[in-house]
Amino acid sequence: MAYELFYWPNIQGRGEYVRLALEDAGEAYVDVAREKGGMKRMTALLDDAKLAQPPFAPPFLRAGRRLIAQTANILLFLGERHGLAPRDEAGRCFTHQLQLTIADLVVEIHDSHHPIASGLYYEDQESEAKRRAEDLRRNRLPKFLGYFERVLASNPRKGGWLTGARATYADLSLFQIVTGLRYAFPTASKRLARKHPRVIELHDRVAARPRIAAYLASPRRIAFNQEGIFRHYPELDG
Amino acid sequence: MAYELFYWPNIQGRGEYVRLALEDAGEAYVDVAREKGGMKRMTALLDDAKLAQPPFAPPFLRAGRRLIAQTANILLFLGERHGLAPRDEAGRCFTHQLQLTIADLVVEIHDSHHPIASGLYYEDQESEAKRRAEDLRRNRLPKFLGYFERVLASNPRKGGWLTGARATYADLSLFQIVTGLRYAFPTASKRLARKHPRVIELHDRVAARPRIAAYLASPRRIAFNQEGIFRHYPELDG
């Protein structure tokens, strides 16, 4: 039976990390909320008081009788099942650790345009966003990207992946970070790219994977826009 | 061999979720950075370019030859080893899902006093903090605590734990959230308690566990202070 992914229909958002893993694994899935009546189904599950193990928020994944939420948790599940994580326990643990670090970065990127409240418009927190985005560009992005550059440099297997000899879901997620930052912060991204060549090479290596390349060229890939995690406000790009 | 926990020595912070699990499990551990020379050891590990699987930030745990980072990842590891997670895979997955939701809440609580930048003083972002804390009190805390109340209510095993019939690391972590919110937001916490009786009962149940009670009364428990995640600024409490 195909997986069912429940996520907001109009943005890449956190659902995209799951989509990339499913696409790279070649697994069939239904992007439920993009189908007719799908939003209703998603909302009904979020509100279902009878669920013993309810999700807090999208994305969540239906896998047979299981309903699994939290992006990194879904990837932990899929990675082991579909060869997108190392086979040994220590390798799987480190891959998950990398994914949780990426998850922390995703929050910081989101909050750079919404530092006060997700429920308020950008225009109602623009001056605060300018201050926060400056800190993101100057301090936080160099710290995170420098970390991933270091991890790539210290992987004893020389395939150019974050851990082990093969691509994991963490590599797919880091690709998404790079491509998202290029959309949201084109100027800052150019400057950052010079100091993090291995991260950029990883991005290119993921983009060239046949299933990922096919996905990116398909209508299944939602375009970046001003509703997602990565938004392009020129005034936040320095 | 005793575990070694690496975390900042003067705050509960994210290390506290790991401390609570180790204490409840009755496992021996060294809180490295609180020992003589320990901060140097922690910094050396963070800077060690030879580590193939480096941590991004504290906390991290030395378990034999393994070095494991990211709070929720450490708890996933410890929970399975020491009976602080369900035995079945679906139960372990849901426990981790709950922990990741708690981790999201921890970020939001931290950012309520530091909405612009961790590297700036509170005083340099106080007006922004007031706006963000108001959103936390009015919207985010009710949403998160309402979710945990719902999870407690819908657990088919009636022991009063978040999942399954026994305490997990997620229960210990939710205790820490409640006690931290009481310190940081005493007024808001009183109001919130009325709507979330099961969450409060869970807090009391965890606090009464013999090993947790002994830990809380010991010098190993660092007192709340104005350097940690939970800080008491009366102007943020509404």
Q: Which of B81, B97, B141 should be substituted to probe chain A, the one whose Cβ sees the most A Cβ atoms within 10 Å?
A: B97
Q: Is residue A49 part of a domain?
A: no
Q: Which pLDDT band holds residue B1 (cuts at 50, 70, 90)?
A: confident
Query: Mind listing the pLDDT tens digit for each residue in B24-49?
Result: 999 999 999 999 999 999 999 999 98
Task: Classify residue A25: in a domain, yes or no.
Answer: no
Could you tell me the two tokens for A235? 């005034």
Last residue of a domain, one of B53, B81, B109: B81
**Model pLDDT, residue A1:** 76
Residues of A in contact with B93 (CB under 8 A): 66, 68, 73, 76-77
CATH number, domain of B29, equals: 3.40.30.10
Alpha-carbon distance A110 to nearest alpha carbon in chain B (angstroms): 12
Chain B residue with CA closest to A77: the answer is B93
Residue pLDDT, tens place only, A52-63: 999 999 999 999
B234's tokens: 């009366």
Q: What would the pLDDT profile of B163-213 be if each residue is shown by its tens digit?
A: 999 999 999 999 999 999 999 999 999 999 999 999 999 999 999 999 999
Q: Please state the pTM of the whole predicted model.
A: 0.98
Are B29 and B142 within one domain? no
User: Could you tell me if residue B216 is inside a domain?
Assistant: no
From B69, B91, B63, B6, select the one nearest B40 (Cα to Cα). B6
Instruction: For residue A68, give the H/E element and its range.
Output: strand A66-69
ipTM exceeds 0.90, yes or no: yes
Judgement on whether residues B203 and B185 belong to the same structural domain of the protein: yes
- Do residues B11 and B93 share a domain? no
For the stretch A98-112, what's the b/e string if a residue is b when 16 or more beta carbons lie within 10 angstroms of its beta carbon? bbbbbbbbbbbbbbb
Report yes or no on B220 lying in a domain: no
Residue A41, in any domain of the structure: no
Q: d(Cα A151, Cα A154) in Å, to the nearest integer?
A: 5
β-partners of residue A29 are A3
**Is A137 a residue whose pLDDT tops 90?**
yes
CATH number of the domain to which B131 belongs: 1.20.1050.10
Is there a domain that residue B215 lies in? no
Q: Tell me if B20 is assigned to some domain.
A: yes
Nearest CA in chain A to B145: A56
A&B contacts, CB < 8 Å: 118
Three-state SS string over B65-114 comes to CEEEECHHHHHHHHHHHCCCCCCCHHHHHHHHHHHHHHHHHHHHHHHHHC
**pLDDT category of residue A210 using cuts at 50, 70 and 90:** very high
Residue whose C-alpha is closest to residue B142's, from B203, B189, B183, B107: B189
Among candidate residues B81, B115, B148, the one where a domain is terminated: B81
Query: Which residues of chain B are within 8 Å of residue A132 when distances are taken between CB atoms?
Result: 115-117
Domain count, chain B: 2
Q: State percent of chain A over pLDDT 70.
A: 100
* Nearest CB partner across the interface for B90, out of A66, A128, A144: A66
- Answer whether A77 sits within 8 Å of B70, measured CB to CB: no
Taking CB atoms and an 8 Å limit, are A93 and B68 in contact across chains?
Answer: yes
Shortest distance, CA A23 to any CA of chain B (angstroms): 22
Give the nearest partner residue to A52 out of B54, B117, B156, using CB atoms.
B156
Q: Which domain holds residue B132?
A: 89-210+228-236
Measured CA to CA in angstroms, residue A39 lies from A7, A44, A119 at distances of 9, 8, 20
Report the alpha-carbon distance of residue A122 to residue A176 in Å, rounded. 23
HSE at residue A12, side-chain half, CA atoms within 13 A, is 23
